[in-house]
Amino acid sequence: MNFDLQTIPFARELGFTLELCDEGKSLLRYTPRAVHGNSMGVVHGGALMALLDVTMATAACSVNPGVATVTIEMKTTFMRPAALLEGSELVGRGRLLHRTHKMAFV
């Protein structure tokens, strides 16, 4: 594993943990807390998007350590809510599909 989540304060604040970051793949775990919820009592979409964003970035960085990545475009369609259940864990799995000199598609 060649990536340190401690360099991303927001990921650290949300409590993301990194289990895999190697050969274009990443795996992160996230146990949402009540403060990460929205007014409907489910995990806030912004927290979910943050998990996706960091998952993609770690997959991209795994093949080119030390090179910073920034998200230029990201879209998702939420199919169902992520319930805020005590101790419930969400898992983000990233896979690098293609990399050019300046861009990564994850």
Q: Measuring CA to CA, which residue among 58, 39, 38, 59 is closest to residue 48?
A: 38
How many Cα atoms are found within 13 Å in the side-chain-facing hemisphere of 82?
25
Return the minimum-mean-pLDDT range out of 63-67, 71-75, 93-97: 63-67
pLDDT of 1 reads: 56
pLDDT digits (tens, 9 = 90+) for 25-51: 999 999 999 999 999 999 999 999 999
